[in-house]
Amino acid sequence: MTRRVVIAGGSGFIGGFLRRSFVARNYEVVILTRSPGAGEAGVRRVHWDGRTLDDWAGELEGAHALVNLAGRSVKCRYNERNRREILESRVDSTRVLGEAIARCGTPPPVWLNASTATIYKHTFDREMDEATGGIGATPEAW
C-alpha cells in the first residue's frame, strides 16, 4: 500500500520542504493547489479553491496525513481588504477540509494546520512575544 500525504497550499516555501521530505521517505504527495500543473516525481498537483468541496476531497480517503498550509500571504499591507483575505483564506480552507474529512470512510489519522508565524495582534505600542503577546483575530478564529 502506498503511503500518501496530502498538503493543502503546499506550493510555498514550507510546502516545498515538506514535499521533498515526504518524497525522500517514499510517500506519495498530493498538493491541493489553485495552480495545478506538472509536479515532480512522486508528487501530484490537484486543483482546489480552498473554499468548496469538489473532486479533490477524494484525495483524503485513506491518506496517512493532511497538512494544511493554505492561506493568503501575510507579506502585505494590513489594510481592511488584505486582513479580510488573510482571515477568510485560513478559516475557509480549514472549514472545507473538515467537511471533506467528515465524509471520508477512512480519514487521515493526522491533520495539521500551520499557516503563518504571525499570530500576535498587529500593534506598534508594545512588544509582542510568548509572554506578553495578545492573540490576533485571525488565529483566534482559525
The pLDDT mean for the chain works out to 84
What percent of the chain stands above pLDDT 90? Answer: 48
Model pLDDT for residues 71-113, shown as the tens digit of each residue = 777 777 878 888 888 777 788 899 999 999 999 999 999 999 9
Model pLDDT for residues 44-62, shown as the tens digit of each residue = 999 999 999 999 999 999 9
Q: Is the pLDDT of residue 119 over 90?
A: no
Looking at residue 58, what is its pLDDT?
97
| In contact, 49 and 92? CB cutoff 8 Å | no
Q: What is the mean pLDDT of residues 8-12?
A: 87
* CA 90 from centre of chain: 8
- What stretch of H or E contains 82? helix 80-102
Q: Does domain 4-141 have CATH number 3.40.50.720?
A: yes
The domain locations on the chain are 4-141
